[in-house]
Amino acid sequence: MTAPHPFLPLIAETLAATAADSIVAIGELPWPEGAVAPARRAVAEVSGMAGQMERAGLAVAMLPAGMEQRDARQLIAALRDLLARQLLVFVPESLLDDTALLGLALTRQARFELDGTPWQAWSYDIRTYKSVPDWLNPKFWANPENWDRFRW
């Protein structure tokens, strides 16, 4: 009996927590049994067509270890900005360091070891990326006491 893939629990947890209407899986990812089948794409396909693809609710990606760092950063940025509202990406530790991934506004979810290679899981969710600050409401805007007195 083979051991289950280490990515499967996190993928299943993310799928259970999301209300995504469409899901895309990028790269050679395992997928939990019984879960909604995603649209599958190759990494090269997504890299070349980032601006032409329809935005998905959730993108789950596994970047190959042999990918160039610059290409990996560009792919993650395209996934985050253009292709998905929520992102879960699995990255080999040797590909990008924590600083680069934090700079892309990602949050570390977990660390794994797969076939002797250390991997990290990072996520991004546009809904929880930044909380709304307290000052961003009409109560703190300029001269609210004059709103009904003067026409601006």
Give the percent of the chain with pLDDT over 90: 25
Give me the chain's average pLDDT, please: 83
pTM for the full predicted model: 0.80
| Sequential DSSP letters for 80-148 | IIIIEEEEEEEEETTTS-HHHHHHTT-EEEEEEEETTEEEEEEEEETTTSSPPPTTSSGGGSS-GGGTT
DSSP code, position 49? S
**Checking DSSP bridges between strand 117-125 and strand 84-92, what pairing results, if any?**
antiparallel
Domain 8-146 maps to which CATH number in 3.30.450, 3.40.50, 2.60.120, 2.60.40? 3.40.50
Q: What number is the average pLDDT over the span 10-28?
A: 85
Domain ranges of the chain: 8-146
Q: What number is the average pLDDT over the span 88-100?
A: 92
pLDDT at 26 over 70: yes
